[in-house]
Amino acid sequence: MKKAPFVILIVLTFIAEILACFLMLSKIKDVKTDPVKVNECMYSISENYGDSSKYNTQLDYVVLDNEGTLIYKTREGLSESINEAIKTRGLIIDLKVDGEVKGKVIFDYNIGTQMTEFKQNIITVFVIIGVLQIVIIISWYIYLKHSMITPFTRLSDFAARVAEGNLDLPLKMDKGHVFGAFTESFDLMRSELKKARLAEKKANDEKKEMIAKLSHDIKTPVASIKSTSEVGMALTKEERTKEMFGVIDAKTDQIKSLVDNLFTSSVHDITEIDVNPGNQPSDVITGLIRNADYLHRADAFTIPECNVYFDKLRLQQVFDNIFMNSYKYADTAMHVNAEISGDYLVIRVSDEGPGVKEEELPLLKEKFRRGSNASDKDGAGLGLYLTDYFMEKMDGQLGLKNLDKGFEVSVYIRTV
């Protein structure tokens, strides 16, 4: 920033003020009567008394005789009265010629008048210098406003527009101030952000298109599996085989519903998974648990009769995730217990596995978090995260707990 000229001017005005002070002080000192000059004047008058042409006139003075009559004065306008000289504090000296007093010499020394003049001069000088300083400061402010404040305000407004997502309006280029380089850099940033935003949108559109195509393509083999399972169920005579075909049929329906959700999300750009809970009887939950426990690891259980608030598809996913985790990490027998506690139907699903470390329990509900016992198992760390998400959306809760032997997941379903 070109501030050096302003600083130099301010410094010079302060120096001028200091010099003016010294000058005025020296003037005040000059007002005092110089004894050497007074003696020289008195000597010249005494030696040349009667011949005024030889008088020393370094100072202004008046010569009076013993009767007070004017004999000589150096200039007009000087006081010719001893009384007046006393009032104005003039210097009055006896004039002696050959030892005889011939009269009085009054040296003009009107301190009041001269001090008034000095005060006026001092005030004038300081007013001039003060006005000059004010002009310099105002000029500096105008310069700062033009070179810093206005460009900075413009940059702030531009940054706010960028933060709001407005990347189309360019920033006006102005390299004539201190923010000139920043102006260019900010506009380059805007251009790059706009390119990145367009690239991101293109990638997201392509991703959604791919998901839509995949979800559509998945429906074909799922439909074939469902048809085959229905044929197999109709042809087989064994109850166990019919039961397995029934599981396949139910799972294909579930896959179809999930694929439909995926397709809808990709088409409508939905950022959250759709959960639509409603009031349903609790006996529906029995089928969901048995459907999730396709390996039949759980012992017999009973669900208390009541009306509960849940989304059937999402609650099925909740139990699927719970049983799948137990199959994968514990691989033991499982136990299901249900009771009504307060405003919730609580279903506890436990196994007899090793559980997880206590310090890891709060982390299992986080996205992409897995216990240390999962290092050698496939998975993305989304099962319990989605389970907890579904339960919150259904006004329920999910509890995790280590048992003395095993691990327990509690599903809190709100009653109505």
Q: Are 372 and 240 members of one domain?
A: no
What's the distance, CA 336 to chain centroid? 52
Q: Residue type for 356, please?
A: V
Question: Nearest CA to 389 among 365, 407, 371?
Answer: 365
Task: Say if 372 falls within a structural domain.
Answer: yes
Q: Are 279 and 409 members of one domain?
A: yes
Q: Are 282 and 390 members of one domain?
A: yes
Distance CA 217, CA 209 (A): 12
Q: Are 197 and 262 members of one domain?
A: yes
Q: Are 226 and 263 members of one domain?
A: yes
Q: Are 287 and 352 members of one domain?
A: yes
Query: Over the stretch 226-267, which tens digit does the pLDDT of each residue have?
Result: 778 887 888 888 888 888 888 888 888 888 777 766 666 655
pLDDT tier, 157 (very low <50, low <70, confident <90, very high otherwise): confident
What burial class does residue 268 get, using C-beta atoms within 10 Å of its C-beta: 0-12 exposed, 13-18 middle, 19+ buried? Answer: exposed
**Residue 119 DSSP class:** H
Query: Over the stretch 85-126, which tens digit does the pLDDT of each residue have?
Result: 777 677 889 999 888 999 999 987 555 556 676 677 778 877
The domain in which residue 337 lies consists of 272-414
**Contact call for residues 379 and 328 (beta carbons, < 8 A):** yes
Cα–Cα distances (Å) from 45 to 49, 58, 205, 324, in that order, read 5, 12, 115, 132
Q: Are 215 and 234 members of one domain?
A: yes
* Total domains, the chain: 2
Q: Are 385 and 345 members of one domain?
A: yes
Task: Say if 156 falls within a structural domain.
Answer: no
Decide which of 267, 285, 304 is a domain's last residue: 267
Query: Over the stretch 171-187, which tens digit does the pLDDT of each residue have?
Result: 666 655 555 666 667 67
Helix or strand holding residue 366 (H, E): none
Q: Are 215 and 259 members of one domain?
A: yes
Q: Are 245 and 279 members of one domain?
A: no
Give every CB contact of residue 7 below 8 A, 6+ residues apart in sequence. Answer: none
Q: Are 328 and 220 members of one domain?
A: no
Decide which of 215, 248, 267 is a domain's last residue: 267
